[in-house]
Amino acid sequence: MTADLALIWPELILTIGGLITLMLGTFAGDRQVGLYQGASLLTLAAAAAAVVALFGVNATVFSGTLSVDGFGGFAKLLIYAASFVCILVAPRFFTGGMRAEYPVLILFAALGMGIMASSRDLMTLYVGLELNSLAAYVLASFMRTDERSSEAGLKYFVLGALASGMLLYGISLLYGFSGTTDFAGIAARMGGEINIGLIFGIVFVLAGLGFKISAVPFHMWTPDVYEGAPTPVTTFFASAPKVAAMALTTRVVIDAMGPAVGAWQQIIIFLALASIILGAVGAIGQKNIKRLLAYSSINNVGFMLIGLAAGTQQGVEGVLTYLLVYVVTTLGAFLVVLQLRDAEGNQVESIPALAGLSQRRPGLAAAMAVFLFSLAGIPPLFGFWPKYLVFEAAVNANLVPLAVAGIVASVIGAFYYIAIIKTMYFDDKSDVEVTGGGNVVEGTIVAVSALWLSVIGYLFIPMLAIASAGAASVLF
């Protein structure tokens, strides 16, 4: 037990740090932003350091319910980094100071996500997922006086609860027909003859997880929640939980259902293609940049699923690299959105208001252009590389038609990305005077991520390859 505790340092740090932050908020008051923000950032940094310290360890703890390995470590680092950025940029958005609940909720959500990424048992899977979800529901409605925010929270909660129900139903079927909740045990059962009960279990579990990664057809909540939630929260939703849910899905699919490739591969292929196409088509005609980015995230999840559909180590490496690049791009894009304010300091979210941004804020527009071209996967921007990796994995797994379909559909996606660039660069200036201060922290993050995503990222390919290969090899 004590030995087990020594291997879950990141989770312990997050738990204790979260509680301390909560205490600080309670006793020092909401006004002491620096105090509780600092505490939460410190907690995340310490947790990340603990993850790094545990690199190389490959063990299971607590009777095989959690796994401490490179795969989980890779995902956790990404999750903590994204959470870090979302706490860092929040105070400027919540005018009048943010409340201490915000970083506390993010810390607990991050804890839940870490458990998701490490789980190798249906029980821990569910606990981690719900810990994350409950925090997320509250975060979505964080601006409780704002109608859109409350609506987003409610919608997220109702639909999320439905998805949890489906997931639980799937879990109970898997348990019922395999007699165990352990991934390895389930996999052993899958190796034999697969009966209809197990198939239903797989379908329902994948449906529940599909909701979490907002894959079509379980994506309906995404645009509404992304639009309604406060922008820092949307930034968070679009980054960290995607990593956690994708990591969890990968683990479930490869670890627990691995032997039954025939049963899940078609489902993943369907989810992938539907997400790519609907994500792309749905985005056309959106007027709100946050909604648009929501569709973009649906679209990108589709590409990740192509890598997963391959079911090979190479595919999982592709998914991990994709997640990393996606998180950097998404954080960058949302930070640009955070910077857009009109003369009165109100957030600008409408796309037509971006017209002529390249003349008003050339640097910001250029960074946004980099993020969008990168999301579209146009070389030489670095967003091309993970797309290449997942397609390569699909081709190598003899899924050539899937690769062709996905790659052709990516052209539809390019259409709306370049449509925004058109608005920023080709259109005349809009009436909305986009000002927004040059916040040093945000500006630096935006600039660094834009530079990294331009061409510099390619220099990191060898490093990324080693990291993702190390992480992915754990599952095979």
Partner 1 sequence: MSGGLPILSLMLAVPLVAAVLCIYAGDRNARLIALAATLVDFVLGCVLWAQFDIGGAQWQFTERADLFGRFQWALGIDGMALMLIMLSVFLMPLCILASWDAIKSRVGLYMAMFLIMETIMIGVFCAQDLLLFYIFFEAGLIPMYFIIGIWGGANRIYAAFKFFLYTLLGSVLMLVAMIAMIREAGTTDIPTLLAYNFPPEMQTWLWLAFFASLAVKMPMWPVHTWLPDAHVQAPTAGSMILAGVLLKLGAYGFLRFMMPMFPDASAQLMWIVFALSMVAVVYTSLVALVQNDMKKLIAYSSVAHMAIVTAGLFAFNQQGIEGALIIMLSHGVVSAALFFCVGVIYDRLHTREIDRYGGLAVNMPAYALFFMLFTMASIGLPGTSGFVGEFLSLLGIYEASSVVAFVCTTGIILGAAYMLYLYRRVVFGELTKDDVKAMPDLTAREWTIMAPLAAVALWMGVYPESFLAPMRGDVTTVVARLAPAKPAGDAHLAAAKPKAAKAHEGEAAHGSSHAGGVQ
Binding site for partner 1 (CB under 8 A): 358-359, 373, 378-380, 384, 388, 391-392, 395-396, 400, 403-404, 407-408, 410-411, 414-415, 418-419, 421-422, 425-426, 458-459, 461-462, 465
For residues 26 and 359, which CB has a smaller minimum distance to partner 1 in the complex? Answer: 359
Q: How far apart are the first and last CA of the chain?
A: 27
Question: Least distance in Å: CB of 459 to partner 1?
Answer: 6
Whole-angstrom distance, CA of residue 122 vs CA of residue 439: 44
Question: Least distance in Å: CB of 390 to partner 1?
Answer: 11
Strands (E) in 26-173, as ranges, are 59-61, 66-68
> Which backbone phi and psi does 89 adopt, to 5 degrees?
-95, -5
Question: Least distance in Å: CB of 462 to partner 1?
Answer: 4
Whole-angstrom distance, CA of residue 191 vs CA of residue 351: 51
Question: Least distance in Å: CB of 436 to partner 1?
Answer: 21
Are 68 and 118 within 8 A, CB to CB? yes
For residues 220 and 408, which CB has a smaller minimum distance to partner 1 in the complex? Answer: 408
Whole-angstrom distance, CA of residue 153 vs CA of residue 137: 5
For residues 224 and 317, which CB has a smaller minimum distance to partner 1 in the complex? Answer: 317
Please list the alpha-helical segments (H only) found in 252-383: 261-283, 289-310, 313-339, 357-360, 362-376
For residues 136 and 421, which CB has a smaller minimum distance to partner 1 in the complex? Answer: 421
Question: Least distance in Å: CB of 182 to partner 1?
Answer: 36
Token pair for 322? 């994709």
Strand, helix or coil for residue 420: helix
For residues 226 and 382, which CB has a smaller minimum distance to partner 1 in the complex? Answer: 382
| Displacement of CA 108 from its chain's centroid (Å) | 16
Question: Least distance in Å: CB of 244 to partner 1?
Answer: 27
For residues 122 and 405, which CB has a smaller minimum distance to partner 1 in the complex? Answer: 405
Residues 6+ apart with CB under 8 A from 38: none
Whole-angstrom distance, CA of residue 376 vs CA of residue 199: 35
Q: Which residue has the tokens 């960058």?
A: 332
Question: Least distance in Å: CB of 327 to partner 1?
Answer: 21
Whole-angstrom distance, CA of residue 114 vs CA of residue 226: 22
For residues 144 and 422, which CB has a smaller minimum distance to partner 1 in the complex? Answer: 422
Question: Least distance in Å: CB of 373 to partner 1?
Answer: 6
Choose among 290, 283, 434, 289: nearest CA to 363. 434
For residues 233 and 381, which CB has a smaller minimum distance to partner 1 in the complex? Answer: 381
